[in-house]
Amino acid sequence: MSHIHIEVKDLSFSYGQDRKILDRISFTAREKDAIGIIGANGAGKSTLLKLLVGLLDGFEGSIRVEEIPVEKRTLQRVREKIGYVFQDADNQLFSVNVYDDVAFGPRNYGLPEEEVDRRVRKALARVHLEGFDEKPVHRLSGGEKKLVSIATILSMTPDILLMDEPSAALDPRNRRNLIRILGEFDHLKILTSHDLDFIWDTCSRVLVLHQGGILYDGDPDTILRDEKTLAMVGLELPLSLTVR
């Protein structure tokens, strides 16, 4: 059995006094898992990802990342292990050119400039954006921005990759490219998406969030063919399964 990377136990969270977004959910994620989290809008998918990296506090229960409890004093250690790709690449990229943005993380960890340079080139090569290093970020297309935002995370060599709606606003070619890149990342990855075809192509396990809890935790083949359950949580069959 492979090593447990993330352990969530009885996790509850609500924004202010509102209803609980997450209500006593528990699950574990192992080293090579590729987990897709699906659910309707407002089901708590993005909230769950933000909780895992400590962007939200004030939760009940416990989250452990590689045995480290997620709390204020451990955030830096936790974040060294997890890479988080935001839904909107524009919010993730803030430097003038691609090189500086991809180098931002390694530099903050105090790596020597030669190592930073090696990591930047390797990360850009992994997303097939060699030669983009001097390009101004604001001149990139939406797909290129998404790939650069993944490179900014890969340059930090994380053990775990979290991605919030990675396929949103990607054209078919960039989407295929992203599926290939995710396939090459052989560590734990957790994605949230409404794009069930994308989940089908990239994940080996699916969690369905519904009314604050986990309605289903298992293989994608079963749940993504289950029209009734999907309809109950406000989703539809993947397009590739839809009979026209």
Partner 1 sequence: MSRISGAIHEMQTIEESASRDQWVNRLHPLVKFLVTLFYLVCVVSCGRYDLPRVLGLALYPFVLFELTDLPLGQALCRLRLVLPLVCIVGIFNPLLDRRPGAELLGFTLTLGLLSMLTLMAKGILTVLASYLLVATTPVEGLCAAMRMVHIPRMIVVEFLLIWRYLSLFMNEVQKTTEAYRLRAPGQKGIAMKYWGSLMGSMLLRSIDRAGEVYEAMCLRGFTGDFPSGRFPGAGRRDLVYLAGFGAGILFLRLFPVLVLIGSIVAR
Residue pair 208/192 in contact by the 8 Å Cβ criterion: no
Q: Does 59 bind partner 1 (CB under 8 A)?
A: no
107 binds partner 1 (CB under 8 A): yes
Cα 65 from Cα 56, distance rounded (Å): 15
196 in contact with partner 1 (CB under 8 A): no
CB nearer to partner 1: pick between 95 and 177: 95
Q: How are strands ordered across the β-sheet holding 68-69?
A: 22-30, 4-13, 60-65, 68-69
Tell me which residues in 145-184 interact with partner 1 (CB under 8 A). 152-153, 156
The answer to whether residue 105 forms part of the interface with partner 1 (CB under 8 A) is yes
Task: Give how many residues touch partner 1 by CB under 8 A.
Answer: 34
- Among 9, 10, 57, 112, interactor with partner 1 by CB under 8 A: 112
CB of 15 to partner 1, least distance (A): 14
Beta 205-210 vs 213-218: how paired, if at all?
Answer: antiparallel
CB 104 within 8 A of CB 137: no
Question: CA–CA separation, 190 vs 169, rounded Å?
Answer: 19
10, 94, 204, 225: which one binds partner 1 (CB under 8 A): 94
Interface residue with partner 1 among 60, 71, 113, 221 (CB under 8 A) is 113
Instruction: Return the C-alpha torsion angle 186, 187, 192, 197, nearest 10.
Output: 20
Question: What's the min distance (Å) between Cβ of 133 and partner 1?
Answer: 11
Contact partners, residue 86, CB within 8 Å, separation at least 6: 92, 149, 164
In sequence order, the β-bridge partners of residue 136 are: 97
Compare residues 52 and 208 and give the one whose CB is closer to partner 1: 52
Measured between alpha carbons, how far is 235 from 56 in angstroms, rounded to an integer? 27
Radius of gyration for the chain, computed over Cα atoms and rounded to the nearest angstrom? 18
- Does 84 contact partner 1 by CB under 8 A? yes
Q: Which of 7, 14, 62, 104 binds partner 1 (CB under 8 A)?
A: 104
- Our finding on whether 95 is near partner 1 (CB under 8 A) is yes
Residues that bind partner 1 (CB under 8 A): 53, 55, 76, 79-80, 82-84, 86, 88, 90-92, 94-97, 100, 103-105, 107-113, 116, 136, 138, 152-153, 156
